[in-house]
Amino acid sequence: MNDKIKINDKIKLDIVSDVVCPWCIVGYKHLQAAINELGLQDRVEIEWQPFELNPDMPAQGENLRAHVLRKYGAKREESDKARIDISALGAEYGFEFNYFEEMKIVNTHDAHLLLDFAYQQGLQHQFKQRLFAAFFSEYKDISDRTVLLAEARSVGLDPAATTLALDDSKRLSDLLKQQRHWQQQGISGVPTVIFNRSSAMTGAHPQSAYKKVLKELAGL
């Protein structure tokens, strides 16, 4: 180990992502595996940053197949293949994707509001993982406030305070500022992992790629 690196030095990771982005959870699982392989669990500090892939998504959501056709031009065969490929990548790292025919892409505005609240309570990471699982594995509509509040409670967030957070005008203003900040930094795709606020990797990179960067930062 480089003697210029102190044992208690932290590596700050800002992960810009959306909870309805499958590549965001795949990329995180690769990153997590790299952290674990290097034994850096106690030296890495993760903060999830907001990014809404579809900020104008209506309350009723949109059928996922129709959405990927409209937004990306992906026909059914391409959509089916993508689901199979993503599911296989998730399974390799212990995450279950349960795609179904009537699955919808939903608005994530309220989810990001509560992730900001959860960060202040020291429970953001747990809540983020819970939302990924709720949406991709458990057929849950995470744009539904009842669902969001139940998931928040399941990780230990106070129900009354969480409810108030959803209608907090200052929190809403701060969230919009955060999103603009990352956009102004040139981030237009997710996931984007920012290392110590100095370098970044966009996309779901393999475990080996994250390992290489982390080793350098940790002086290993």
Q: CB–CB of 114/152 below 8 Å? A: yes
Quote the pLDDT of residue 5. 37
Query: Rounded CA gap, 30 and 128, in Å?
Result: 16
Q: Choose among 184, 23, 158, 173: nearest CA to 113.
A: 173
pLDDT(138) > 90: yes
Quote the pLDDT of residue 6. 40
Confidence band of 9 (pLDDT split at 50, 70, 90): confident
Query: Rounded CA gap, 105 and 119, in Å?
Result: 24
Tens digits of residue pLDDT in 184-199: 999 999 999 999 999 9
Average pLDDT over residues 194-218: 96
Q: Which 8-state DSSP code applies to residue 5?
A: S
Q: CB–CB of 48/19 below 8 Å? A: no
Domain segments of the chain: what residues?
A: 11-215
What is the value of pTM for the model shown?
0.93
| Distant-in-sequence, close-in-space partners of 185: CB < 8 Å, separation ≥ 6 | none
To the nearest whole number, what is the mean pLDDT of the chain?
A: 94
Q: What's the Cα-to-Cα distance from 46 to each of 16, 75, 76, 192, rounded to whole Å?
A: 11, 36, 36, 13
Confidence band of 144 (pLDDT split at 50, 70, 90): very high
Average pLDDT over residues 61-89: 95
Write down the CATH number for the domain with range 11-215. Answer: 3.40.30.10
Average pLDDT over residues 13-32: 98
Q: Choose among 182, 188, 213: nearest CA to 199.
A: 213
Average pLDDT over residues 49-55: 96
